[in-house]
Structure 1
Amino acid sequence: MDVTLEPAADRRATIENLFQFYVHDFSDFWIEPQVDLGEDGRFPPYPPLESYWAGDPRRAAYLIRADQALAGFVLLNDHSHSGRPADFNVAEFFVARPYRRGGVGRAAALAAITPRRGQWEIAVARRNLAAQAFWRQIAAAAAAGDIEETDQDDDRWNGMILRFVVA
């Protein structure tokens, strides 16, 4: 399957629509409900999403395509959950269910990460065990050296944090 990333600068509505599926899937990993469905049957807007269309050069939004079909999205920024300097962070990553388990996520993650040299940080929710295994494999494939894995539980993050350098 041919997996590509498409800059989503002019596809805000598409990302917002996909975010409904993302929040629905991610709700499985909440210890307590984080958001409620609105009376319109939708989850509320994700506040940080606005910043991806505000011209901030440290943020990038991409659609994931598999054989040209829409398959998900990836959002990148430079936020650090650990509090340590980071050049890049996978802020949000979503692959629609029909495209999971066939290599689309791996190809998309590596396409987002490997061209960007510098210090990466990827934070994964404590209860999202499948994602923890996935991101460990991605870090191992992308890192130029050692991968630092920490377990953090504070006001910045609750879960695993991977840090590595892409050279």
Structure 2
Amino acid sequence: MNIEVRLCPKEQSFILHNLYPLYLHDIAEIWGIHPNRYGVFEKGDVPTLSEQSKLLDVWWEQPSVLFPYLITVDDVAAGFALVSTPPQVPSANIQYYLSDFFVLRTYRRQGVARRAAELVFDQFQGAWELQTNPTERNMSTQIFWRKTLNTYTGGKYSELDGVHPEKGEMLVFRFTNK
């Protein structure tokens, strides 16, 4: 199985646009989110997936600040990772923020997500942060990040309770890979 992570160019952004509604559907259960009146998992009255897709375009508008990565397995789209840098990070003293990370269910529990996360982290050296839902509904993700970060950092990461300006209470993981 060949797992790769690469920046997704604008001309291939449609691939991330295709994956994004699947991601939102997956996290809806964790966050207790319901679709809007049009059946779209999005805040407000976004009526179509096409309209929702336009909200992702910001990831190709700031190429020195926002980094949309496509995760592939044997050249097939398997997920994505969205990495932001200042000023688009939620915490001070953080150089890289893993804003969103998603691997399709088809590729889970095969080491794809762990390897993809390592490859994403290897793209940038410095102070990293990622956040996830702190509730019992999200235990598998919490366990995944603890195990992945423990292996990647040799146990040199921190875990603390925090608050995201938009999402509220979060479990925050920080590490440095310099």
Q: Name the TM-score, length of structure 1 as normaliser.
A: 0.86
Alignment-derived partner of residue 29 in structure 1:
30
* Corresponding residue to 2:124 among 110, 116, 124: 116
Q: Give the conservation status (yes or no) of the 8 Å contact 1:23–1:43.
A: no
* Identity rate, percent: 25
Q: 1:107 to 1:13 in 2, by over 3 A?
A: same
Q: Give the conservation status (yes or no) of the 8 Å contact 1:114–1:142.
A: no
| 3-state DSSP of counterpart to 2:52 | coil
Deviation at 1:21, TM superposition (A): 0.3
Alignment-derived partner of residue 49 in structure 1:
56
Alignment-derived partner of residue 164 in structure 1:
175
| 3-state DSSP of counterpart to 1:151 | strand
Alignment-derived partner of residue 13 in structure 2:
12
C-alpha distance in 2, partners of 1:41/1:52? 20
Q: 1:140 to 1:43 in 2, by over 3 A?
A: farther
Equivalent pairs counted in the alignment come to 166
> Aligned runs of 1:141-156 on 2, under 5 Å?
141-143=151-153, 146-153=156-163, 155=165
RMSD: 2.5
Work out whether 1:140 is the aligned partner of 2:125: no
C-alpha distance in 2, partners of 1:150/1:50? 31
Q: Name the TM-score, length of structure 2 as normaliser.
A: 0.81
Q: Which runs of 5+ in 1 are unaligned?
A: none
- Greater share of helix: 2
Deviation at 1:120, TM superposition (A): 0.3
Alignment-derived partner of residue 3 in structure 1:
3
Q: Which runs of 5+ in 2 are unaligned?
A: 41-45
Alignment-derived partner of residue 43 in structure 2:
none
Letter in 1 for 2:79: G
C-alpha distance in 2, partners of 1:91/1:126? 16
C-alpha distance in 1, partners of 2:145/2:2? 21
C-alpha distance in 1, partners of 2:175/2:120? 14
Deviation at 1:121, TM superposition (A): 0.2
1:68-105 CA-partner distances (Å, limit 9, x unpaired) = 22111111112433x32211111111111111110110
Q: 1:154 to 1:112 in 2, by over 3 A?
A: closer
